[in-house]
Structure 1
Amino acid sequence: MPPRPAAPPSRPLVVSADEDLLDDVLRVLAAAGTEPEVATGGPALRRAHREAGLVLLGADVLGAPAVRALPRRPGVVVVAGGVLAAPAWAAAVELGAERVAVLPDDEAWLAARAADAVRRPVERGWLAVVGGPCGGAGVSTLATALALSAADGGDGVLLVDADPWGGGLDLLLGAEDAEGLRWPALSGVRGRVAGEALLAALPEVHGVTVLAAARDDPSPVPAEALTAVVAAARDCGRSVVVDLARPAGPGDPTAAAVLAEADLAVLLVPARLRAASAARLLLAGDPGEASPWRAARLVVREVPDGLTAAEVATVTGAPAVAALAHDRGALSRGERGEPPVVTPRSPLGSVARRLLGELARPERAA
């Protein structure tokens, strides 16, 4: 069966009887590259209100019975030619408007919002979260290798550093001098964020966009900011790897927030008894509560004279999907600011490709 053609993007709906306001709105939408549907009542209004990707209500129709009878829905913006009076503000809130756009001051915002609403849908990027049960497990190196391997495959990737006291993930990419934002410059973001603008503000090296911690201003990464950044990147088609290097208990809100959305969670466990025991605690969670790590895939990092992968599986109660062989040169390369080697035969490259294969399994989409 041939693939079904993509549905055309829906047209915005404009509801207004104010000719001057209508002219201004149509001009802004034309600049955004979209032609709207205009309706003020009847079946056409109800149909368009249901189907439109964006609904623009003129301030002049906020009290109209046909408008007040419409069901609440997302994607409603009230457009006005001046500051709204208190009763009009109350009506806008009652209708569930996400914003009141006052022209001409908000023309740029309205054009961007309209363009975003009619953009053809893109396939949402996947999310992989890498963590460890103890310090020094090599989580940051594996997260970086996973991002580099995905970038080698032609996918755009955002690598996010969720460990503000780790010294900065950009060091592993040799990007410490690259221009762009770091945490905590984005610690205040919340809710819906423009993904393209966010990605453009971050450093990029070796095909990987990176949001790293700032070495001169370490501070906790708020769970709300982390999830907003991750969602913004994924919504515009960018896949994301989050480094949760510093170990935290099952109740850690930042880890829980990002793990809840993960397509793949990876727990890197050094082949030592204490590390395996700590991993078991992470997987088990608090009594009476499911651990956010419960679905994690285990990768065992081999160490000289350490446990075998089978022994780690016995201690943790979970099988390992891969074993990361000891790489003598990894430490020295990191000290020289050289990115991890991710060739198919390298230890990190082999494991990264195994994890990318986990992301590509059909049951992930089920």
Structure 2
Amino acid sequence: MSPAPRASSHPLVVSSDEDLLDDVLRVLAAAGTEPQVASGGPALRRAAREAAVVLLGADVLTSPAVRALPRRPGVVVVAADPLPAAAWAAAVELGAERVAVLPGDEAWLVSRAADAVRSPVERGRLAVVGGSCGGAGASTLAAALALTAAEDADGVLLVDADAWGGGLDLLLGAEDAEGLRWPALTGVRGRVAGDALLAALPEVGGVRVLAASREDPAAVPAEALTAVVDAARACGWPVVVDLPRPGGDGGALAEAALAEADLGVLVVPARLRAASAARLLLSGPPGGPAPWSAARVVVRPVPGGLSAQDVAVVAGRPVAGELGHDRGALTRGERGEPPAVGPRSPLGALARRLLGGVDRPGWAA
């Protein structure tokens, strides 16, 4: 799961101010680049994620579509006049690196746009894993995805979003490794220095893990989860998020994480109630959000339970794979060893199939 190059090396300009737009387009022409132009709409979120640099007109700083954009580096606010205090605050909230006031900052903006096009920012992929019920095996699969992706990446971040799950570091055998756990980072918001964050986390087999604390469990705010994930992805690191069981804070975390995910996986034990719960998650409440709607379903077989085909019928979704039983997993876990993810192991084979099945280049392990 290597970092993926951005789909576009063009700047994105977001503005409805025709005079300002003319000035910005003239500056970008001087930089030798042709931008995308948008003012809103459903394609804005992806365009903002993939653009080499995002230039926001001062006129759109408070628009709902712009305020809902995910955090990323390379955001510049462009204005024709110095911003008032309220607009400055809005720019800071959006994580803008600078406010460029034209025409005074034209030379800087030409240089910034040209640099961005020559060296577009690369973002790491994001996989999100959850279970249709507690004890589904989502954490095991999340760890397997991270360990498998680490074979072809400079580093991978595994995020434990379940504050009361006992700590995902136990699954990797990293419970005694020094580094930050969630209570130290629940207050982070906005842009975070990714390199410093990653260096402060425990590491096992090329995977940095941000785990919950067994001594001081605390709920993970959606804003903190988004900030941590964005920081790692901005460094080009793939990220795997292990979501808590449905209900409580899990809904907000699922909505925040899955909105930007390249791969969502819902693990469903082969029981009628678990499959029925999966159907509810995949479809969402009537008229409400359905963050799991694009997820792939993985079945965990249980003795005397449903077949994979039965689970597909009940859940209303094809099954992408089965979380096969690994006879040595329990022994390795008790010895504090991470799951086996070799190509012939059940977990490794499933992880490779899931990572390789995403229809975007650069993801496959």
Using the size of structure 2 for normalisation, the TM-score is 0.69
Secondary structure class of the residue paired with 1:281: helix
Who is 2:36 aligned against? none
Matched, 1:47 2:47: no
1:295 to 1:88, Cα distance in 2 relative to 1, 3 A? closer
Who is 2:76 aligned against? 75
**Cα separation, 2, equivalents of 1:218 and 1:94:** 33
Per-residue deviation, 1:243: 0.2
Per-residue deviation, 1:198: 1.2
Whether the aligned pair in 1 keeps the contact of 2:125 and 2:262 (CA below 8 Å) is yes
Stretch deviating more after TM superposition (196-205 or 226-235): 196-205
CA RMSD in angstroms, aligned pairs only = 3.8
Whether the aligned pair in 1 keeps the contact of 2:244 and 2:250 (CA below 8 Å) is no
The one-letter code of the counterpart of 1:198 is L
Give the gaps of 5 or more residues in structure 2.
Answer: 1-7, 12-22, 33-55, 62-74, 100-111
Secondary structure class of the residue paired with 1:184: helix
Who is 2:140 aligned against? 141
Stretch deviating more after TM superposition (329-338 or 265-274): 329-338
1:359 to 1:48, Cα distance in 2 relative to 1, 3 A? closer
Counterparts in 2 of 1:213-292, with a 5 A limit? Answer: 213-248=212-247, 252-292=251-291
Whether the aligned pair in 2 keeps the contact of 1:179 and 1:203 (CA below 8 Å) is yes
**Cα separation, 2, equivalents of 1:100 and 1:233:** 22
Secondary structure class of the residue paired with 1:232: helix
Per-residue deviation, 1:359: 2.7
Cα deviation code 1:195-235 (max 9, x no counterpart): 11111111111000110011111010000000111111111
Whether the aligned pair in 2 keeps the contact of 1:155 and 1:239 (CA below 8 Å) is no
Per-residue deviation, 1:332: 2.8
Per-residue deviation, 1:350: 0.7
Higher RCO, 1 vs 2 (CA within 8 Å, ≥6 residues apart): 2
Who is 2:318 aligned against? 319
Stretch deviating more after TM superposition (241-250 or 320-329): 241-250
**Cα separation, 1, equivalents of 2:90 and 2:127:** 38
Whether the aligned pair in 1 keeps the contact of 2:270 and 2:299 (CA below 8 Å) is yes
Counterparts in 2 of 1:105-184, with a 5 A limit? Answer: 120-184=119-183
Cα deviation code 1:15-53 (max 9, x no counterpart): xxxxxxxxxxxxxxxxxxxxxxxxxxxx99x8389969x
- Largest Rg, 1 or 2: 1
Whether the aligned pair in 1 keeps the contact of 2:77 and 2:98 (CA below 8 Å) is no
Who is 2:108 aligned against? none
Per-residue deviation, 1:341: 0.6
The one-letter code of the counterpart of 2:200 is A
Per-residue deviation, 1:190: 0.8
Whether the aligned pair in 2 keeps the contact of 1:250 and 1:286 (CA below 8 Å) is no
1:156 to 1:122, Cα distance in 2 relative to 1, 3 A? farther
Stretch deviating more after TM superposition (235-244 or 324-333): 324-333
Whether the aligned pair in 2 keeps the contact of 1:250 and 1:285 (CA below 8 Å) is no
Counterparts in 2 of 1:207-218, with a 5 A limit? Answer: 207-218=206-217
Per-residue deviation, 1:250: 10
Per-residue deviation, 1:360: 5.0
**Cα separation, 2, equivalents of 1:173 and 1:94:** 42
Per-residue deviation, 1:362: 5.7
**Cα separation, 2, equivalents of 1:271 and 1:93:** 53
* Number of corresponding residues: 288
Per-residue deviation, 1:282: 1.2
**Cα separation, 1, equivalents of 2:166 and 2:187:** 21
Using the size of structure 1 for normalisation, the TM-score is 0.69
